[in-house]
Amino acid sequence: MAQQQKESVITPEMKKWIGVEGPPTIYEVEKGAIRKFCIAVGDTNPLYLDEEYAKKTKYGGIIAPLGFFGTPVSSGAFGQQPYEVSLKRVLNGGTEYEYIKPVRPGDTIISTRKITDFQERDGRLGRTLYTSSETIYRNQRGEVVAIGRGTTINY
Amino acid sequence: MAQIYFNHVKEGMELPVLEKKTTTRQLVQWAGASGDFNEIHYDKPWAEKTGLPGLIIHGRLKAAFLGQLVTDWMGPAGTLKKIDVAYRGMDFPGDTVKCKGKVVKKYTRGRERLVDVEVWTENAKGEKTTPGTATVALPARR
C-alpha cells in the first residue's frame, strides 16, 4: 500500500489533456442572476442593480459584477474533467481574473477552459494534486471579455 | 457612491475594512447563485466525512468579497483590471470575515493611471486566509 501511495497520480492519460481546449460553456447573462449573485455576496452596488443609476455611469447601464465570472459563468465546466483523478476530494486553490470588457445583461458568454499544468506534492492533506487551468471568456461578438486562471486541488 | 482620484492615492494607504458576517444560509444562497454545489459548503456530515472540521466558506465567495472591497473603494469611475487570490486558510460560516486592503504601488502605463492593491481576508485570529492582489485604473482628478 505504502508503495502504491508514492506512485504519481498524474497519469499519462491526464498529461494528454494539457493545452487541449475543452468544450465551450455557453452562459446567457440575466439581470435576475446578477441580482441573486449580489444578494449572496451582500454587494449592494447600484451599478449591478439599479438601471437608472447605472445609466448615468460610464457604462451607460447595468453590468455584471466582476466576480460573476468564474463559477456562475463556467459552472458547467467546473470540476468536470475528461480524465479520471484518483484523488476524489476537491478544493479551490486560487483564482485570478483579468477583466477586459464589461459584461451586460443580455450578453452571451462563451467560455473555454484548458488545463495548463499538473503538479503533485505531499502536504498536510496527504498526496495532493494541483491542476492549473486557464479560461477565456468571449461575448456574442467574439470579443474576449475576461481571462481566468485557477488552481484546483485534489486530495 | 464616493469617488477616489489617482492623485489622492498614496502608497501604504489602507482601504476601508469590509466586514462580512457569514452564515450557512449565505453559503446556500451562493451555491444557488454560483452553481457550485459542492456539499462541503452546506452538508455538515458530508464535510466532516471528507476530513474537514465542518462546513467551509466557498473560496470564490471570499474572492467576491474581496472584489467588493476593491470596487467599493475605487468608486464608479474606477475600473478593476485584475484580481488574484489564493485560498490559504479555511473560513467557516458564522465567522466574521474581515476584508482588508492596502495600496502597494501607484504608476502610469500608457494613458492609464494604475494602482496595485494588496487585499486579504482576515479571520478572528488575525490570520490572512485569502491573500491576493488587485490592479485598478483610477480617474486623474476632479
Taking only the tens place, the pLDDT of each residue in A13-30 is 999 999 999 888 888 999
Judge: A78–B59 Cβ closer than 8 Å, yes or no: no
Measured between beta carbons, which residues in chain B are less than 8 angstroms from residue A75? 34-36
**Which range has the worst mean pLDDT, A39-53, A69-83, A105-119, B84-98?**
A69-83
Question: What confidence score (pLDDT) does residue A75 get?
Answer: 47
Measured between beta carbons, which residues in chain B are less than 8 angstroms from residue A43? 64, 68, 71
Q: For residue A72, what pLDDT band results from cuts at 50, 70 and 90?
A: low
Mean of pLDDT values over A38-66: 96
Mean of pLDDT values over B73-78: 96
Q: What is this model's ipTM?
A: 0.93
- Give the rounded percent of residues in chain A with a pLDDT score beyond 70: 89
**Domains of chain B, CATH where assigned:** 6-21+57-137 (3.10.129.10)
**Domains of chain A, CATH where assigned:** 9-154 (3.10.129.10)
Interface test with A, best of B21, B68, B91, B112 (most A CBs within 10 A): B68
Q: Which of A87, A95, A96 is nearest to A155 (CA)?
A: A87
Q: Which long-range contacts (CB under 8 A, 24 or more apart) does A114-119 make?
A: A114/A18, A114/A19, A114/A20, A114/A21, A114/A22, A115/A17, A115/A18, A115/A19, A115/A20, A116/A18, A116/A19, A116/A149, A117/A18, A118/A10, A118/A14, A118/A15, A118/A18
Taking only the tens place, the pLDDT of each residue in A107-136 is 999 999 899 999 999 988 899 999 999 999
pLDDT at B37 over 80: yes
Judge: B87–A42 Cβ closer than 8 Å, yes or no: no
Judge: B64–A65 Cβ closer than 8 Å, yes or no: yes
Q: Is A93 on the interface with B (CB under 8 A)?
A: yes
Cα-trace Rg, chain A? 18
Measured between beta carbons, which residues in chain A are less than 8 angstroms from residue B29? 36, 39-40
State the amino acid at position B132 in one-letter form: G
Q: Is B140 on the interface with A (CB under 8 A)?
A: no
Interface test with A, best of B58, B82, B85 (most A CBs within 10 A): B82
